[in-house]
Amino acid sequence: MDRCSVHVLLLLLLQGLQALQTLQTSAEGSGTATQCHGTRCFSSVKVSSSGVVFERGCLKGLEKILLHCSTPPSSHQAIFCCSHDMCNSNTTTNWLMSLLPTVPEGEPVRYRVETLLLFILGPVVVLALLSVASVLACRRLHHGRLQRLQEFDTEQGAVDGLITSNVGDSTLAVRIRQIASKMFSVFPILTVSVLMECVGKGRYGEVWRGQWQGENVAVKIFSSRDEKSWFRETEIYNTVLLRHDNILGFMASDMTSRNSSTQLWLITHYHENGSLYDYLQRVAVETSESLAMAASIACGLVHLHTEIFGTEGKPAIAHRDLKSKNILVTKELRCCIADLGLAVTHSQADNLLDVGNNPKVGTKRYMAPEVLDETIQTDCFDAYKRVDIWAFGLVLWEIARRTYSNGIVEEYKPPFYDQVPNDPSFEDMRKVVCVEQQRPFIPNRWFSDPVSKKNSPGGLLTALRIKKTLDKIHSSLEKGKES
């Protein structure tokens, strides 16, 4: 082997030894300072609740070196790596602490946009999902309930999927329910899809034509100051066995808030002909039609005045505000009595007379003499029935004026139109009815009419007696047509 080859082998051997050489490093920990050997030197500092821990040492193995030396400084730890002998001997705790990232005092921690979006949208998404699940569950329960209600017979208190006045309950009128012994109907106001048009206004509020499931309904809207009228009417309509063809069909009542004010709703059947007052102003009627209207009003009044005995009985009811504006005309040209906000009830079982808690009185033009001169027996139920009969007589006079008699018909006028102003006061009516003892004018031709001339003995009759008389007249008129 020549000298050149030996030099090459020695050079390779030296390079191998250098490759296997390890670094000397300063090692410090647990209060002692020594030297160690490895391929990397390091110094580290750790901040914990127990204090600051400073450490020096060496690292062996590529994976361990990459794991430690590639770790970036954090708020509680920093590590410094180097690759020369004793290169970590001069590192200090203060110098390593300066590598720790710090947040200036008084400034909030700044999060990334993605983190903020996650914090904000996360709860919103969860609430939205819970809301959707709740709505779906409620709709499912409501649909199942409606299906069960549709199986009820109308006599048991179910009409078109609604619990009617006999067994209902109002979910919104909680305060009223606590003081009332009867329960209201379940008829969510939101199911009245839209209020179409205002069809009437009165002293208690407005009446609108609304729609529910494609059908027209009447929505009587009381203002909050007329809560007692609304409550009394709801209470009367919820009377057991009140439902009758000649009493306005009650569907529901509830409270709602619109335009920052409380509204009290009463939902009933809708009759497009409107009130008898409006109808008579538009249309003159034939004798048979007028008799049918009068008989239907008498029939409804008989049902109100009659007490029904039994386990689920009905008290006797006096209207106290009967007039042509409170009577509706059906499409069959029959009438039904409405507006029971001033009604009085009486039960013979306990001799209880319930006049309600509404201080308002009836319409002055239709007040009976004993009401005007304040001699009415307020503790006697029959006295209130006689008040209804007086008002019914005035309504019959209105119908008779618009009925063809001997080919003649007169324009519509309210009772006492020629004796008192359009809006008479209590004193105006008392003077005409009680002092002067005036009565509505009756034309002479009525006495020559075979129907109009029929009369009865003096004194006020009962509603039942009037009904029977009207039925008898109508029957004789029909027989006369057949013959």
Q: What is the CATH number of domain 19-97?
A: 2.10.60.10
Binding residue ranges for ATP? 220
- Is the model's pLDDT at 404 over the cut of 70? yes
What global pTM score does this model have?
0.61
How many alpha carbons lie under 13 Å from residue 413 in its C-beta half-sphere? 14
Assess whether 373 carries a catalytic annotation: no
Kindly report, residue by residue over 336-388, the tens digit of the pLDDT: 999 998 999 999 888 889 988 766 778 999 999 999 999 999 899 999 999 99
The CATH class that applies to domain 142-270 reads: alpha beta
Nearest to 291 by CA among 149, 175, 399, 439: 399
Query: Dihedral of CA 454/460/463/465: which sign?
Result: negative
Predicted pLDDT at 165: 35
Residues 111-138: what's their mean pLDDT?
85
- Angle (CA) 190-143-178 rounded to 5° is 55
Comparing 175-179, 248-252, 374-378, the range with the smallest average pLDDT is: 175-179
Distances (CA, A) of 441 to 431, 444, 445: 17, 10, 12
Exposed, middle or buried, 379 (CB in 10 Å: 0-12/13-18/19+)?
exposed
Under DSSP, the state recorded for 483 is -
Under DSSP, the state recorded for 324 is G
- Is the model's pLDDT at 154 over the cut of 50? no
Predicted pLDDT at 383: 93
- Is the model's pLDDT at 432 over the cut of 80? yes
Comparing 103-117, 263-277, 391-405, the range with the smallest average pLDDT is: 103-117
Domain boundaries, the chain: 19-97, 142-270, 274-483
Comparing 177-186, 274-283, 445-454, the range with the smallest average pLDDT is: 177-186
Predicted pLDDT at 92: 84
| Confidence at 138, pLDDT banded by 50, 70, 90 | confident
How many alpha carbons lie under 13 Å from residue 58 in its C-beta half-sphere? 21
Question: Pick the catalytic residue: 226, 254, 321, 388?
Answer: 321
Comparing 11-20, 254-263, 470-479, the range with the smallest average pLDDT is: 11-20
Predicted pLDDT at 433: 95
Under DSSP, the state recorded for 172 is S
Q: What is the CATH number of domain 274-483?
A: 1.10.510.10
Predicted pLDDT at 151: 52
Stronger pLDDT, 176 or 483, i.e. the higher one: 483
